[in-house]
Structure 1
Amino acid sequence: MIGVVLWSDNSAGKAVFWCEDQGDLAYYEEPSVQVGAGSGFDTGDMVQFDISVHRKLRIADNPRLVQEKAGTHLPEALRDSHAAQTLQEAPTPKGTAQIISFAAKAEPRCFHAAQLKA
């Protein structure tokens, strides 16, 4: 699976990935972390990882950096999209999806809605 780091705490060795299939988020925790030494992932980094499901949570294993800062716009775009959707309060028709691109573009982004499941 390919994903973008939405949040990370390098000192604790934890991260949350937004997945390419736009399903549930994937959670990562390093098996053994020494204080101050973590995965080194930063928000917006594109990573490739194995995925498993444990107690209805997607767990990321063996993450590998694909590209640094590939999706630095993504966390803010998702927050803005969620805020816009909340203001509109318009339900998304069942069976449709709104997709936010992983690729960065030079022009300003305008996202109307994105759904996250946590």
Structure 2
Amino acid sequence: MYGVVLWSDVSDKKAVFWCEDHGDLAYFGGSQDSQNITFDAGDLVEFDVTLKSKLRTASNPRVVREKLDVDLPAKLLGNGPVKRAAQPSAEILPFQSRQHVCSPACGGRIA
């Protein structure tokens, strides 16, 4: 499978790949074989994919082309769902001042 690196941690040799099939992201957790591999956001990589406990994992990654699209993570963030301003969910009615007339028990006075 081919993919583009969205995020990587150089010290831990971990990375997240956006896959060519536009399915779930693939997570690479590092391995002894990857000690000399360095990933940067935007790199095009080729890797094997397996599904483990509903988690798509990448193995045997290799960089095909460095810096193919370094702006891809920012582009994807910019293309998320549009946040709309909250719409009022109720009609707000102003209180009107009114006079209260007591019952005959209080003498019928206006309070």
Q: Do the two structures share a fold, i.e. TM-score over 0.5?
A: yes
Contact 2:6/2:18 (CA < 8 Å) preserved in 1? Answer: yes
Match of 2:97 in 1: none
Unaligned runs of 5+ in 2: 86-111
Contact 2:19/2:26 (CA < 8 Å) preserved in 1? Answer: yes
- Read off the aligned partner of 2:72 and give its amino acid letter: L
Percent identity over the alignment is 50
Tell me the distance in 1 between the aligned counterparts of 2:78 and 2:36: 29
- How far has the Cα of 1:87 moved from its partner? 1.9
- How far has the Cα of 1:32 moved from its partner? 3.5
- Read off the aligned partner of 2:57 and give its amino acid letter: I
Q: What SS does structure 2 have at the residue aligned with 1:87?
A: coil
Match of 1:27 in 2: 27
- Higher RCO, Cα 8 Å, sep 6+: 1
Moved over 4 A (4+): none
> Is residue 86 from structure 1 mapped to residue 59 from structure 2 by the alignment?
no
Match of 1:93 in 2: none
Contact 1:51/1:60 (CA < 8 Å) preserved in 2? Answer: yes
Q: Given the two structures, how large is their TM-score scaled by the length of structure 1?
A: 0.66
Of 53, 56, 77, the match for 2:54: 56
Q: What SS does structure 2 have at the residue aligned with 1:75?
A: helix
* Residue-pair matches, total: 84
